[in-house]
Amino acid sequence: MSYAIALIHEEDGVFGISFPDFPGCVSTGATLDEAMARGAQALTFHIEGMVEDEESLPLLRTPAQIKADPELAEDTAGAVLVAVPVELPGKAVRVNITLDEHLLAAIDRAAGAQGSSRSGFLAEAARRRLGR
């Protein structure tokens, strides 16, 4: 698990959250907890969009690196820095598994019906099972 540093500001009772390593990824909340939850969702959606658009994902910086960036001086002033857990996609790895032939045929039929590949179908099933 990786962590993206977020900046949280409070103004007039509304909390805003932004991610310096992911420009344009922002959210708000009426409470700190709500801003954190919405921010985590926005970050996940933002990363999914970057992957779909085949954009390079940034290297995640530490709080010290964020604070030391002169271009972020205005943004970090008065902000609370928090680490938000994030799962960055890794590169695809080929694996060899053994499955019952009838189960494999059922997987292939279900994947085809969804317009997915066998690998995509199995990966999505694993993500659901793992609660991701």
Q: What's 2-86's CATH class?
A: alpha beta
109 exposure class (CB count in 10 Å sphere: 0-12, 13-18, 19+): exposed
Rounded distance between C-alpha atoms, residue 89 and residue 66, angstroms: 22
pLDDT tens digits, residue range 65-119? 999 999 999 999 999 999 999 988 877 788 999 999 999 999 999 999 999 899 9
* Identity of the amino acid at 28: T
Nearest residue to 41 (alpha-carbon basis) of 13, 10, 6: 6
pLDDT tens digits, residue range 7-61? 999 999 999 999 999 999 999 999 999 999 999 999 999 999 998 888 889 999 9
Domain ranges of the chain: 2-86, 91-132
Global model pTM greater than 0.75: no
Rounded distance between C-alpha atoms, residue 25 and residue 6, angstroms: 10
